[in-house]
Amino acid sequence: MVVHKYKKASFAAGCFWGVEAIFRSLKGVISTSVGYMGGIIDDPTYEDVCLGLTGHAETVEIIYDPFKISYKKLLETFWNKHDPTTKNRQGHDIGSQYRSIIFYYDNEQKKLAMESKKKLEESDKYKQSIVTEIIPKTTFYPAEDYHQQYLEKHGKRFCGV
């Protein structure tokens, strides 16, 4: 019997409710959790992060089966989910907590993330520069329970709907 080893990926791309819903829909994604990464304080709350003073970004942590979905596919989904050219903003959501970040867990993820960003930059899909950060993972702090699978719980398909 072959035992599959699941892997982690984490992305920040605006309001974590919508980002989570997109990744949860992918075959090979085992679980998702919304929370906060990239900041300077321990155990931030939603209210702390919303003030924009903690440095955290609303992030989705993904557990996935690399035999069923590749990290490249997760990256493709990330790039297609949001506008990577807007600094500290996605749609109506404004603030550093909504910035675009790929948190990598190992050198392979870093390499693939950098390659995918370069490919997107060279594609001329966007007239503006891509501002997405590609940084090492930091401590992931899960958001409060009421944020987890928020859109599913409330019968919504998109943030703000």
- Six-digit token string for 160: 């703000």
Q: Tell me the per-residue pLDDT of 114-133, one tens digit each, with 9 for 90 and over.
A: 999 999 999 989 999 999 99
Element holding 13 (H helix, E strand): strand 7-13
Q: Tell me the per-residue pLDDT of 89-119, one tens digit each, with 9 for 90 and over.
A: 998 889 999 999 999 999 999 999 999 999 9
Residue positions annotated with a catalytic role:
15
pTM of the model as a whole: 0.91
Class of the CATH-defined domain 7-106+132-153: alpha beta
